[in-house]
Structure 1
Amino acid sequence: MSQVFSKIPASAPITSSCMNYVHPWTDSCLQAICGLYLYCIFDCLRIYGSVYVLTLLMKGRIPTKNDIKHTLYGILQSTAFLSGTGFGYSLFLCSLRKLMGNFNILTVSAIPAFLASVFSILIERPSRRTLLCLYVSNVATETVWNMAVSRNYVKNIKYGDAAIFSSSIALLLMYFKGGHHKKSGNEDSMFRVLRFVIGPYEEKDYTSSRSSQANSFYRQQEQNDGRSRSGSWQRSRPKTNFVLHIVNQMLSIYKKIINKIKCCDRHHACPHPFSCLYYTMQGAGKMFSIGLGIQISLKLLLNMKSIFQSPANVKRIIWKKETLNLASFLGAFSGLFRSVSCILRRISGKDDPKHAIPAGIIAGMAFTRYPDTTVSLYVLWKAAQVTYNIGIEKGVLPKVPGFTEFLYCFSTAILFHAAILEPTNLRPSYWKFLHSISGGRIACMNRIPLDAWGLNTSESLRTVLAQTKTVPVVHF
């Protein structure tokens, strides 16, 4: 690629004015700062207004006065947080330029973003800071990896997403089986997801002394009741409707098969009711159905316009091979984890939380059916967070005050640095977010002076604008 300037060391500063780089659309720093801040406020009100109102409606009840008050306060507080980041970023860019007389590789974006984040994150509620930290750390990790790949420091690994997901989810599953999530008294949302996917029986101390006798009795009762109901139905129902009779016979046969599967062998160390075979099949079937329902619903929702134009498009939208990807992943993950756990319990003769490591790794291989970098990195950072919290509770790791806030600010600095100097390494969705929240200003900042560092910044910007279909136009 051609470069406007010859390469200079990354440590060398560039003597460019604020107008030539930060805000070429105006010669006033104050006007640029205030313009960005006002646009951020209105756009943040739109974003957080939709998010908080939707959250309020999803509660499924008529909102009370306190609910409305809490929602309005949350909208205003989150708007102040996010718009404050935009205000601080522009403010520190111009201020550091006036203070130092030039820009360097750090002050061109990273340090202003870090300083702006330090002040803005303190505005947001403490309960939301961890979620924000996990999100930006997720995107920043992917960005750093892309930067390393573009420099040929590392190479992309086939099924790397699945490897990250498998190892991370195995660690979380071990904590889940070991009951670590209950000791702090504040259960993480990730463990609620795991309970839903793999079932509550794998949780520590789920079963009690009554479980073995109750399960055996219940299995026997189910078998007897199934036979008696099917027999009485066949005797009492006249065979006047042939189709209905066939359906009833099929249901009766299905029920007998299920009852036989339920009453197959179950190891005494297994905490679940019914047989291990039924336990595996039930988990896989349930999660496959849920995954298929989610995928079809999303496809129909996202293609609503084309469906209204031609209802015949429904068949074309649904009947695609990729429609089964999410269902295959969820079903295989649940089924593999349950089956491997049962096998390990039979081999060892006990239920051990460490069984979750091999079971989780094997089940995580199903992630190859629905690979997603965002999901794998989120699980990785969630595993790191939970491990850190457990280490603090056990006294193994020290509690570092403000670590969450620092990690958020550091990750944000990486993202803003990449957005300015090498936007092709930034996740496209995050670039669109920055473009939207800044009213196009992030694309209008003049990259030509930055080409002196040899990162092909201007060319990278043109590539991203074409890929994301964004335009370098300042909106007011």
Structure 2
Amino acid sequence: MQHTTQKSLSFVLHPAARLATMVLFSRPSQWLYVRGSCHELGHTWHPSCMYSCCEMFMFVFLEALKVYIPLYLLSNITRLRDLRWVLMSLLPNILRSSLFLGANGGGFVGFICLNRHVLGGFYKYTAAFVPAFLASLCTIFIERKNRRRLLLGYMSTMAAEAVYSVLKAKGKINGVPYGEVMIFSLASAVLLHRQCTSKVIPTDTVGSVISGLLRPSLPSPMKLPFSGMAANLLWVGLWGFSCGYLIRFLLSLLTYWRKLVKSTANLKELILKKQSLKFGLFLASFSTWFKLSNWLMKVLAVPQDLRLIISGLIAGLSMVFVRSPVISLYAGWKALEVLYFKAVEKGYAKSWYYGDAVLFSISTAIVFHSLFFDAHHLREAYFKFIDRVTRGRILLMNYEVIDQFGTNASLRPMQLLREHSAKDK
């Protein structure tokens, strides 16, 4: 785990970079050029480029299997009785998704080496961004088309969050009070309008979640309109709270199960955890506020489109209970996606078949650039996930050298290394 010392590498400005700096940039550090082998900066754990690339592929592939096997089994639990479907569809899909992640990880290391051989060294914006972009673009087609949109939604959310965090930390932009609430409110207006006006109920992830929250109703509601609506609101609210609480509780249970094994006294603390209660309130208020405002405006004869938009805006204010940038950004991305496809349908925009692959590659490149140069601004859970799937290899990159680009890239890796050392003791 020893990093190559900084003295073994030389840091100089490339002549072409110096000229470009004089003309275009006021910060020479943006064009800092590192002369050194990819072993000294990248795969420090082994000198061979080919071996490191193949090893990374195998590590990520095996860890991806551990992630995708339970994920696919749980999401398709109702179809597991069909043995033919399991053998012909489920298992190939698990292998395909795992192969994609493995190839992406191995390809990233491979393109770091290829990039160094072509350019003779490393520039700030080609050390991680370009290899991640090329690796993602070459491997995303391994995945199924319908999975690409899910991956794009996740990575674009991560990329937007990373860019926002870095710009905010560097003082380039100021935080907007309750910005995540505003984004989620606007996104909810678009998504709920689509949900209620589509001839076919949307079957994507967001559509399924909204359908699950709004669908429950009493089997025999009261005859009086107001009392019947009140009873249904209570039912929908209880359903939303139960779903939200259980989701958050189960996630906490998976995280803190070791503490429960050591002492059952921690169970009470886990049951009454504020995050679980708040998430329950979030989903309960989202569904009830939408139904109540929609019903009231329907009584007042407000036009359908306007009624659904206003009701969606009101429902989105439920984000105040959790204030989650991740959920807000993901919902915002899905809303933009809905608007884009609506524009394509109306003839205002053109559809591009490979657009999801290119956008996914750009988003992944942004995230990996942040992972190497601004990891302390990236979500800690994601960095730990990358650490897990690479089996610690990500921590062996020479972050002390990367610090020479004017960043504090080594802060989070050093923190995780200390945590690993403490666990080993």
In the superposition, the TM-score normalised over structure 1's length comes to 0.76
Moved more, 189-198 or 167-176: 189-198
**1:205-227 deviation digits (Å, cap 9, x = unpaired):** xxxxxxxxxx9xx9xxx7xxxxx
State how far apart, in whole Å, the 2-side matches of 1:370 and 1:77 are: 35
Residue 383 of structure 2, aligned match among 431, 435, 454: 431
Matches within 5 A, 1:66-465: 66-179=85-198, 182=200, 187-199=203-215, 262-265=222-225, 275-296=228-249, 303-307=256-260, 309-347=262-300, 349-350=301-302, 352-463=304-415, 465=417
Find the counterpart in structure 2 of residue 18 from structure 1.
38
RMSD, aligned α-carbons:
3.0
Give 3-state SS (helix, strand or coil) of 1:59's partner: helix
1:424/1:463 contact within 8 Å kept: no
State how far apart, in whole Å, the 2-side matches of 1:89 and 1:300 are: 34
Uncovered stretches (5+) of structure 1, i.e. residues with no partner: 202-214, 223-258, 267-273
Change in CA separation of 1:143 and 1:353 when aligned onto 2, cut-off 3 Å: same
1:109/1:416 contact within 8 Å kept: yes
Residue identity matched to 1:416:
F
1:422/1:461 contact within 8 Å kept: no
Residue identity matched to 1:318:
I
Give 3-state SS (helix, strand or coil) of 2:172's partner: coil
State how far apart, in whole Å, the 1-side matches of 2:249 and 2:68 are: 28
State how far apart, in whole Å, the 1-side matches of 2:246 and 2:341 are: 35
State how far apart, in whole Å, the 2-side matches of 1:85 and 1:94 are: 14
Change in CA separation of 1:433 and 1:265 when aligned onto 2, cut-off 3 Å: closer
Residue identity matched to 1:408:
F
Change in CA separation of 1:302 and 1:440 when aligned onto 2, cut-off 3 Å: closer
Uncovered stretches (5+) of structure 2, i.e. residues with no partner: 1-5, 13-26
Change in CA separation of 1:105 and 1:333 when aligned onto 2, cut-off 3 Å: same
State how far apart, in whole Å, the 2-side matches of 1:47 and 1:299 are: 17
Deviation of 1:280 after TM superposition, in Å, equals: 3.1
**1:119-163 deviation digits (Å, cap 9, x = unpaired):** 110111112111111111111110011110121011233322211
Residue identity matched to 2:408:
N
Give 3-state SS (helix, strand or coil) of 2:173's partner: coil
2:156/2:360 contact within 8 Å kept: yes
Give 3-state SS (helix, strand or coil) of 2:176's partner: coil
State how far apart, in whole Å, the 2-side matches of 1:18 and 1:89 are: 12
**1:329-372 deviation digits (Å, cap 9, x = unpaired):** 2222222212211222233x255132122222222222111222
Residue identity matched to 1:39:
F
Residue 55 of structure 2, aligned match among 35, 54, 57: 35
Deviation of 1:20 after TM superposition, in Å, equals: 1.6
In the superposition, the TM-score normalised over structure 2's length comes to 0.84
Moved more, 288-297 or 427-436: 288-297
Deviation of 1:76 after TM superposition, in Å, equals: 2.3
Size of the aligned set, in residue pairs, is 400
State how far apart, in whole Å, the 1-side matches of 2:335 and 2:80 are: 34
Change in CA separation of 1:380 and 1:17 when aligned onto 2, cut-off 3 Å: same
Deviation of 1:464 after TM superposition, in Å, equals: 5.7
State how far apart, in whole Å, the 2-side matches of 1:138 and 1:321 are: 25
Change in CA separation of 1:32 and 1:321 when aligned onto 2, cut-off 3 Å: closer
Structure having the higher Rg: 1
Residue identity matched to 2:55:
G
Change in CA separation of 1:311 and 1:439 when aligned onto 2, cut-off 3 Å: closer
Find the counterpart in structure 1 of residue 3 from structure 2.
none
Residue identity matched to 2:313:
I
2:376/2:411 contact within 8 Å kept: no
State how far apart, in whole Å, the 2-side matches of 1:283 and 1:70 are: 35
Relative contact order higher in (CA < 8 Å, ≥ 6 apart): 1
Give the % identical residues.
Answer: 29
